[in-house]
């Protein structure tokens, strides 16, 4: 029996109106852990449990850790999750509430991951948050359900961080021989995948400069990057403010709270970005996320809007100075 639940696929009237297309939502935000992560991570934990491991060790920016903690609680196996300093107090609390040990280490996920690997014992199993074939296989069940429901999109929109969801969705599409392109969406300060595709090689971001910390892998996985050569994957980047505004609008439209990492994908539909131009029926993976609150989203919108206005004023002033000098 799986640890994840089957989620509904519904048509979104509001997103369909905003984009001028038929938009389906795969509501992974309804998973018991709050995000799609439970599909792959739950499967990986179950397979390790069958081999008799005594502890799960993982690294996470939030949602993967929550999924491991949930799986460990359900399987009655202790869990230790190492998170970076950027992880929100709420995420740490949600992990701890499920009786998992939370260790805070490093300024980024990469540093937290190195610490997690260093503490592995002989009877431990390491649960990678995104770079594991078993995890991809678990995430691929999203497409299994979509096919069973008779949904036939001509584009799948999803957010990409380390590349686990992207890898699973492409695996699912290929398993069902669906030649359906994918639009991979990131935020401006966490666009490692987009920049890697543009350069033709995997790059490492010097730092994550986005509030969408669930997208906070400074380098996308090798497997996810390699998929560009075998499947049609396009990229889009939105701002933090656009992601937050999409979260709040989605909350009004569907009474479902998601975090900015998920809002990034939704923002492309609300803004009807040019990358959608060739498609009529779109499936959005509402990946979810349990680490944000309504109050936090509102505070982010206020601070990001203020910063955006200041930047606009600086640009306007600079343009006025140039005009004056030219005169």
Residue 240 Cα to chain centre, angstroms:
14
User: What gap in Å lies between CA 66 and CA 38, rounded to an integer?
Assistant: 9
Q: Can you give the pLDDT at residue 313? A: 57
pLDDT mean over 35-63: 96
- Collapsed DSSP state (helix, strand, coil) of residue 284: strand
Residue 8 Cα to chain centre, angstroms:
19
Q: Can you give the pLDDT at residue 310? A: 64
Instruction: Give, in order, the Cα–Cα distances in Å from 206 to each of 77, 149, 201, 210, 217.
Output: 36, 42, 16, 12, 11
Q: Can you give the pLDDT at residue 324? A: 43
Q: Confirm if 191 and 217 have CB atoms less than 8 A apart.
A: no
Q: Can you give the pLDDT at residue 49? A: 98
For 202-258, the pLDDT digits (tens) are: 999 998 899 988 887 889 999 999 999 999 999 999 999 999 999 999 999 999 999
pTM of the predicted model as reported, rounded to 2 decimal places: 0.92
Whole-number percent of the chain with pLDDT over 70: 94
Phi-psi region of 3 (alpha: psi -120 to 50; beta: other; left: phi over 0): alpha
pLDDT mean over 42-54: 98
User: What gap in Å lies between CA 225 and CA 173, rounded to an integer?
Assistant: 17
pLDDT mean over 57-76: 96
Tally Cβ neighbours within 10 Å of residue 287: 30
Lowest mean pLDDT among 124-128, 168-172, 189-193, 208-212: 208-212
Helices 37-50 and 63-75: crossing angle, nearest 10°?
A: 40
Q: Does the pLDDT of residue 61 top 90, yes or no?
A: no
Q: Which one, of 138, 153, 170, 169, lies nearest residue 48 by Cα?
A: 138
Lowest mean pLDDT among 33-37, 75-79, 138-142, 322-326: 322-326
Tell me the CB-side half-sphere exposure of residue 194, using CA atoms within 13 A: 16
Q: Confirm if 54 and 123 have CB atoms less than 8 A apart.
A: yes
Q: Can you give the pLDDT at residue 108? A: 84
Q: Does the pLDDT of residue 315 top 80, yes or no?
A: no
Q: Can you give the pLDDT at residue 188? A: 96
Which residues of the chain form CATH 3.40.50.1100?
9-35+134-303, 37-132
Tally Cβ neighbours within 10 Å of residue 301: 16
pLDDT mean over 70-80: 98
Q: Does the pLDDT of residue 314 top 90, yes or no?
A: no
pLDDT mean over 73-89: 94
Mean pLDDT of the chain: 93
pLDDT mean over 105-129: 94
Q: Can you give the pLDDT at residue 213? A: 81
Topology of the domain comprising 37-132? Rossmann fold (3.40.50)
Q: Confirm if 140 and 168 have CB atoms less than 8 A apart.
A: yes
Class of domain 9-35+134-303: alpha beta
User: What gap in Å lies between CA 44 and CA 132, rounded to an integer?
Assistant: 9
């Amino acid at each position: 029996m799986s640890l994840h639940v089957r989620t509904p696929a519904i048509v979104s009237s509001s997103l369909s109106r905003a984009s001028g297309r038929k938009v389906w939502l795969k509501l992974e935000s309804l998973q018991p852990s709050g995000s799609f992560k439970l599909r792959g991570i739950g499967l990986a934990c179950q397979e390790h449990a069958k081999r008799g491991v005594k502890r799960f060790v993982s690294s996470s920016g939030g949602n993967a850790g929550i999924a491991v903690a949930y799986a460990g609680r359900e399987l009655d196996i202790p869990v230790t999750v190492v998170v970076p300093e950027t992880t929100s107090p709420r995420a740490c609390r949600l992990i701890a509430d499920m009786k998992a040990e939370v260790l805070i280490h490093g300024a980024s996920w990469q540093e937290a991951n190195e610490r997690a690997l260093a503490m592995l014992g002989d009877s431990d199993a390491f649960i990678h948050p995104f770079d594991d074939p078993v995890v991809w296989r678990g995430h691929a069940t999203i497409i299994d359900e979509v096919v069973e429901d008779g949904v036939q999109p001509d584009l799948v929109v999803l957010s990409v961080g380390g590349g686990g969801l992207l890898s699973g969705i492409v695996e699912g599409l290929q398993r069902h021989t669906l030649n359906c392109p994918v639009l991979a969406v990131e935020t401006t300060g966490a666009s490692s995948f987009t920049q890697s595709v543009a350069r033709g090689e995997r790059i490492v971001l010097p730092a994550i400069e986005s509030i969408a910390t669930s997208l906070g892998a400074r380098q996308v996985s090798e497997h996810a990057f390699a998929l560009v050569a075998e499947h049609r994957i396009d990229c889009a980047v939105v701002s933090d403010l656009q992601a937050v505004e999409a979260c709040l609008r989605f909350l009004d439209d569907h009474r479902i709270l998601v975090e900015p990492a998920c809002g990034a994908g939704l923002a492309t539909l609300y803004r009807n970005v040019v990358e959608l131009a060739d498609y009529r029926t779109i499936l959005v993976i509402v990946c979810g996320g349990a680490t944000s609150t309504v109050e936090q989203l509102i505070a982010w919108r206020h601070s990001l809007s203020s910063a955006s206005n200041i930047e606009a004023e600086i640009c306007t002033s600079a343009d006025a100075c140039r005009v004056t000098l030219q005169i």
